[in-house]
Structure 1
Amino acid sequence: MLLLPDEHRKRFKEPFGELFSELVDALPTIEGKTVYTVGDVVTHNFLAAGGTPAVAVIDGYTMRSPCGRTPLLLFNRVQVKNPAGALTDELTAALEEAVRNPPTLIMVEGEEDLAVIPLALIAPEGSVILYGQPGEGVVVCRVSGDLKKAAKDLLSLFVHA
């Protein structure tokens, strides 16, 4: 398991991609792309807008409060544990399997926020990852060599537990 030390948490507050105040504003820029979603609200909103994520990663909470928007999808469902501030091998393995075998809904017991980092490394170039930026909107991560390098740099800040 990898843990994010407290002194590096501020690096994860900045959007890891392009920030849109509303999902509807981002939709034209991701049309025709394979989309992965991280977070209950962004997954709900993407589905409500008519999209279908290849992989959705949710934990049943939004901003630490229960989220009543858990999608009832006819996806493969995988349950994993991932504590706050951590990335477990179980979550990373589930992401790898889900990207190979979409569509998959990964239900995280704990917290899913940091799943964007390994997902950026696993997802194929040309795809898109959507995640919510609390109080600001939705972030669109266009998976590219540059995004993968940035994800590796962020992952290097974690320590083995």
Structure 2
Amino acid sequence: MRRDKPLTCRLPEELRQLYAFPYPIAIWREPPASIRAALAAAEDFGVKRIYTVGDVVTENFIKYGVRPAVAVVDYKTRRHGLSAAQLEYRRVVKVQNPPGYITGEAWSAVSEAVEEEDTLIVVEGEEDLLSLAFIAEGRDDAAVAYGHYAGALIFIPIKPYRALKRLIELLVCGGGQK
């Protein structure tokens, strides 16, 4: 949407500390360095559990000693496939989720999985957008990790990321006011 006049927005002084966090964290390293960097970020942000979205990201976290609290895979990757032994979870939930969507079924699976944990969600279709459901539904002491198509590991500590949404809602906007 284009405006005739620029919109002026002001962030109240007492809320400026919310803007100190860079959203999200892109880690442009190959494993295991990318996993080590994600774990360092997890420590810095008090992350106690990690949710992974995508086969390669899930495989890399497991391969380098980190078991995701919840993992989402579709068993489709440009590389080799995941072995069933790598993905032994207490709960396995299968959902349908077409490309470009987050179905109610998939969203509910994420919501239940963050409560239950130790869950593998197997998607028939595409899992990419489910990271958004984790940001909305995940615990404050969790992070979501997924792969960027250009090769980065994207790592999002949920609590500060949610603060960004709140920050945008708290902006005082108007045509040149204060």
Q: TM-score range by the shorter chain?
A: 0.7 to 0.9
Q: Which moved more, 1:49-58 or 1:69-78?
A: 69-78
CA RMSD of aligned residues (A): 2.2
SS at match of 2:87: coil
- Name structure 2 gaps, 5 residues minimum: 1-22, 29-33, 169-178
Write the distance in 2 (CA, Å) between the matches of 1:110 and 1:74: 21
Corresponding pairs, count: 135
Q: Per the alignment, do residues 68 and 44 of structure 1 end up closer, same or farther by CA in structure 2, a change over 3 Å counting?
A: same
1:76 to 80, 91, 95: 91
CA-CA distance at 1:113 after TM superposition: 0.1
Paired residues of 2:87 and 2:120 also in contact (CA < 8 A): no
Write the distance in 2 (CA, Å) between the matches of 1:150 and 1:50: 32
TM-score scaled by structure 1?
Answer: 0.75
Q: Give the fraction of aligned pairs with identical amino acids, expressed as a percent.
A: 35
Alignment of 1:52-131 (within 5 A): 52-62=67-77, 65=78, 67-70=80-83, 71-131=86-146
SS at match of 1:42: helix
Larger Rg: 2
Higher strand share: 1
SS at match of 1:23: helix
SS at match of 2:123: strand
TM-score scaled by structure 2?
Answer: 0.68
Runs of 4+ in 1 over 2 A off after TM superposition: 22-25, 145-151
1:50 to 55, 65, 69: 65
Partner of 1:10: none
